[in-house]
């Protein structure tokens, strides 16, 4: 199963849209939102997620979603 974790502090930047897309498009995905993932410097700079223990980042919601999908292919 694919696992995607988000920091709750990214919600103000629209992470909920990415979560909704992931849950709609992928049946085998476990999405978690946590208070802190320990990437505080990256969190301040922009959008990110941890996909199956790999850090991914995107400048926009759409780019982050694309990065997550790319990580699923590995």
CA distance 22 to 31: 8
Nearby residues of 12 by Cβ (< 8 Å), 6 or more positions away: none
Which secondary-structure segment (H or E) carries 40? helix 40-45
The pLDDT of residue 21 is: 94
CA distance 64 to 58: 4
Which positions of the chain have pLDDT values less than 70? Answer: none
The pLDDT of residue 54 is: 96
Tokens standing for residue 6: 């988000």
The pLDDT of residue 57 is: 95
The pLDDT of residue 45 is: 83
Beta-sheet strand order (sheet of 54-58): 29-34, 2-7, 47-51, 54-58
Q: What is the mean pLDDT of the chain?
A: 92
pTM over 0.85: yes
The pLDDT of residue 30 is: 95
């Amino acid at each position: 199963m694919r696992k995607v974790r988000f920091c709750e502090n990214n919600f103000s930047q629209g992470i909920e849209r990415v979560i909704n897309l992931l849950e709609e498009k992928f049946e085998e995905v476990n999405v978690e939102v946590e208070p802190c993932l320990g990437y505080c410097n990256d969190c301040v700079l922009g959008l990110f997620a941890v996909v199956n223990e790999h850090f991914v980042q995107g400048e926009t919601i759409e780019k982050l979603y694309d990065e997550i999908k790319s990580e699923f292919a590995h």
